[in-house]
Amino acid sequence: LDCSAETMNSRLLMRNQSSQHSDNTEAIKEAIESYFQASKPVIAYYERKTQLCKVNCLTLLIKYFNLCTHIPT
């Protein structure tokens, strides 16, 4: 999913309010930074192979689910 750090942060903060998760703002920030650092080499690899399909996290996921069912594995 192609999602900004700001969007991830706001979604995780909302998750904290609606569940028993109790991540504080600093823990969320560190987790997001860790995610981006871990994802960079994987994204770069698939971009070089022209096999990367970015999905905008703000778009309805059902649209992409239906698209992905047609991608050969």
- Amino acid in the structure at residue 45: Y
User: In this structure, are residues 57 and 1 in contact, taking their beta carbons and an 8 Å threshold?
Assistant: yes
End-to-end CA distance of the chain: 18
- Amino acid in the structure at residue 51: Q
Q: pLDDT 10s digit of each residue in the chain, 73 long?
A: 788 999 888 888 887 776 666 678 888 899 999 999 999 999 999 999 999 988 788 776 666 666 666 666 5
User: In this structure, are residues 11 and 17 in contact, taking their beta carbons and an 8 Å threshold?
Assistant: no
- Residues spanned by the domain of 27: 5-70
Q: How far is C-alpha 23 from the geometric centre of its chain's CA atoms?
A: 18
pTM (two decimals):
0.64
Domain count for the chain, please give it: 1
